[in-house]
Chain A
């Protein structure tokens, strides 16, 4: 007998919270075929708003994340093209907290 969507989602959240593999594909395989899209949607929603993982220097070294950081850091430090208008400090035109004060003070 297959587990219900609610049961599988609950188990998924617990495994994710405990730092386990939380492989969505393995959980989808445990659901009835017609329940899989619903479970996939719920797992996706959960992951979309789940908190960031805590930084782990050992896991970071040599990872894809480190390569992405190198790429973004290079772009951040690249000299600006003076012919391009400077983008707004904040997409909405509101001054970014980081520009005038510490972002953490804003919370």
Chain B
């Protein structure tokens, strides 16, 4: 029996024996991340490069905004511009999707992407710290407002509370607060400076610090 044109690849070869049906853009938009990845893989197995590329475009473009915003929050100390943030974000997306394709990713795709994004931000900051002489000089207007010391922002009450809370902390935790809260450095950078710290540790230490500050300020009263 003669093959139908639809059964042939653009080069005239027989299509692999894989059932694949193209979906419209609207249908692809509504697919969950993993289902969209499965669709792209199915398109690639069926050697339908155009459909695979379309699925990839919808996936990558769709993820970019949120990953870019996450990276911006993690990197920003006024030193890195939008191109750098975009590069780190795209690298994270490419690595996460690449791992999903080759089977080396772990668990649910979005969790894996978030993990890769966190690592990409930390790796970037570590690399940058190794070559401080190449870092650009920040524009003052780009820097977010810092809280370098209690005297910069705090009332006398706040300053006293801050000193008391810091004095009660372990040295490593105090260092985390100095860097992350008082100097406003991103968690990724704090992890690169304070040995053994992870982003989760930084979040935990700062949460405890915040509660301690609230308690102290409430206790002191108006």
Is B173 part of the contact surface with A, judged by Cβ < 8 Å? no
Q: Which of B70, B103, B182, B213 contacts A90 (CB 8 A)?
A: B103
Is B19 part of the contact surface with A, judged by Cβ < 8 Å? yes
**Once the chains bind, are B35 and A97 in contact (CB under 8 Å)?**
yes
**Once the chains bind, are B203 and A33 in contact (CB under 8 Å)?**
no
Q: Which of A38, A60, A69, A104 contacts B206 (CB 8 A)?
A: A38
**Once the chains bind, are A53 and B18 in contact (CB under 8 Å)?**
no
Q: Which of A25, A67, A71, A98 contacts B73 (CB 8 A)?
A: A25
A104: chain B residues at CB < 8 Å are: 23, 27, 30-31, 35, 39
What residue in chain B is nearest A100 (Cβ atoms)?
Answer: B19
Q: Per-residue 0/1 for A62-75: is the Cβ within 8 Å of any B Cβ (1 yes, 0 no)?
A: 01111111011101
**Once the chains bind, are B57 and A64 in contact (CB under 8 Å)?**
no
What residue in chain A is nearest B93 (Cβ atoms)?
Answer: A68
**Once the chains bind, are B60 and A68 in contact (CB under 8 Å)?**
yes
**Once the chains bind, are B181 and A60 in contact (CB under 8 Å)?**
no
**Once the chains bind, are B210 and A103 in contact (CB under 8 Å)?**
no
Is A88 part of the contact surface with B, judged by Cβ < 8 Å? yes
A40: chain B residues at CB < 8 Å are: 73, 187
Is A3 part of the contact surface with B, judged by Cβ < 8 Å? no
